[in-house]
Amino acid sequence: MDGSPSGESDDWGPFGRPLFDDPKARALSRVGVVDVGSNSVRMVVFDGAARSPAYFFNEKVMAGLGTGMATTGKLNPEGRERALAAIKRFQILAETMGIAPLTAVATAAVREAEDGPAFREDVWRETGLRLWVIDGEEEARLSAQGVLLGWPGAEGLVCDIGGSSMELAELKAGQVGRCLSSKLGPQRLKTVKGGKKGQKAAIKEGVKALVAEMDRDCKRLFLVGGSWRAIARIDMDRRGYPLTVLHEYRMSRKALYRTIEHIQATPVEELRLRTGIGESRMTLVPLAAQVLKELLRALKPNDIAVSGYGLREGMLYQQMPQELRDRDPLIEACRFAEAKDARIPGFGRRLYDFVRPLFSARNAPERRLIKAACLLHDVSWRAHPDYRHEVCFDEVTRANLGGMTHADRIFLGVALLHRYKNSRDGSPFKPLFDLITEDQVRWAEILGKAMRFGAMLTASEDQAMGELRYQSKLGKLELRLAPGTRDLFGEVAEARLTSLATALGGVEVVVKGR
């Protein structure tokens, strides 16, 4: 599908036509969900390209509904008041945004508390919002679907930790398999009798029971939930990791063991001040770290990945038609960004066809990133010209997008930086460049300079940009100008073509059709 431009379909290769304007996708373009958990109550409103949604609104209240429930059997009175106040606010906001009714679910605390039904009635009476209580297996399934929103075709185990429970779900070939729930939430573990010894025994027994029913061949463990993200943030701080984006952050078992030891040896307040983790969340981290340590021992995953997507994103995924689920979240989001923000929407496809001969030896995942870069090449044009290169890099490396590893983010960042600037000398982003190989940096620079040159040919009336031919073995770069581009090839364009040739290793430049 990625052969010659003439052989490519109108749907632009394997990604198909963009779906964000399709009625089925537009129906999901602004969706509000409320998640009433044991620790927090959160409302998220998704907006944008439904396959890789942006967060139009995201607000959380650490209500602590489940605090002390293991002892009393009831929801925490103060937490109940705070949760109800938050839900009232969320409902008013939803009506103001025109997205009511909200989809609202409650998890472990509400489903297990004696006064859970009464709390639901209070919510219904005071807000008109129906609060759906889901069981542990459904919670696990929705969290796993959230992971699929960012990792289509993912395989491994999804582990979602809340305050009062912890869930495991299997993912095989992009499908959710067995789902299990446990009482291993750190808020609940706080009340286990016998102090630290009793907690350790409860964790060991609980993990053993879960793992016994799951596939032991765990190639990747996906971590979902605030306590896991807090541990990942501490891992970043301990390692001095420069890209503090939690989604798709990868850790090895060895590194995580060290971080868990670091958590156990460091005062909680010191960790909180170093990382900016909230006080209520930080109090749960030491127990969550013990649970994670036992999980790692039992499952021995080859790779651990943090997911910024979970139950709430799973609720959105639940509403998607299969056609939309099958799409690449990165490409769909980049197409949406181009349609919304580029000066010439649709030019990204032509630019991709133009630069593609330079990358004939690149594999499919690499060509996918080239396609994403071409779609994003001009979406930051409103930034000040002196800072566009920095804005491009910063935005793409920190964007809330699925379907990208951290290395992918840096590759795209370097490519877009060179779309607007010839050199990266003295860049404040140098520590981030070191997260990818020298070869990746080189090819990102080549891509950026190719886009920088190709952008000089946007005004061709016949939609033709001419043709690039690259003969790496002969050290030759040939440009064949189309009739509509001859007068566009001025001295600035020529300088940019020369810069591209230099990036390719100082190859000979031949221009035909002048």
DSSP 200-214: HHHHHHHHHHHHHTS
What confidence tens digit (pLDDT) does each residue in 323-335 have? 888 889 999 899 9
pLDDT in tens, 208-238: 999 998 877 788 999 999 999 999 999 999 9
What pLDDT score was predicted for residue 136? 93
Please indicate whether the domains covering 20-133 and 137-313 agree at the CATH topology level. yes
Tell me the CA distances in angstroms from 218 to 214, 221, 393, one per residue in order: 9, 7, 34
pLDDT of residue 76: 95
- 483 sits in which H/E element: none
Per residue in 470-498, pLDDT (tens digit) is: 999 999 999 999 877 788 889 999 999 99
What does the pLDDT read at residue 237?
Answer: 97
- How is the chain split into domains, by residue range? 20-133, 137-313, 328-512
Q: How confident is the model at residue 433 (pLDDT cuts 50, 70, 90)?
A: very high
Predicted TM-score (pTM) of this structure? 0.90
Q: What is the pLDDT of residues 6-54, one digit of tens each?
A: 334 444 444 455 545 566 555 566 789 999 999 899 999 988 666 787 8
Half-sphere exposure of 223 (CA within 13 A, CB side): 29
Q: How far apart are CA 481 and CA 487, in angstroms?
A: 10
Which pLDDT belongs to residue 52? 80
Mean per-residue pLDDT for 114-143? 95
DSSP state of 37: -
Among the listed residues 32, 23, 308, the one whose alpha carbon sits nearest the alpha carbon of residue 150:
308
Question: pLDDT tens, 108-125?
Answer: 999 999 999 999 999 999
Instruction: Report pLDDT for 411.
Output: 98
What is the CATH code for 20-133? 3.30.420.40
194 Cβ contact list (under 8 Å, min separation 6):
201
Mean pLDDT to the nearest integer, 362-378:
95
For residue 407, which amino acid is it? A
The dotted CATH code for 137-313 is 3.30.420.150
CATH 3.30.2290.10 assigned to 328-512: no
And the tokens for 438?
A: 């020298």
Average pLDDT, the chain: 90
The alpha-helical segments, DSSP class H, found in 37-135 are: 69-72, 77-97, 108-112, 116-127
In this prediction, residue 81 has a pLDDT band, given cuts at 50, 70 and 90, of very high
β-pairing, 131-133 vs 103-106, is parallel
Percent with pLDDT over 70 in the chain: 93
- pLDDT given for residue 47 in this prediction: 82
In tens, the pLDDT along 258-285 reads 999 999 999 999 999 999 999 989 999 9
- Tell me the pLDDT tens digit for each residue of 252-263: 999 999 999 999
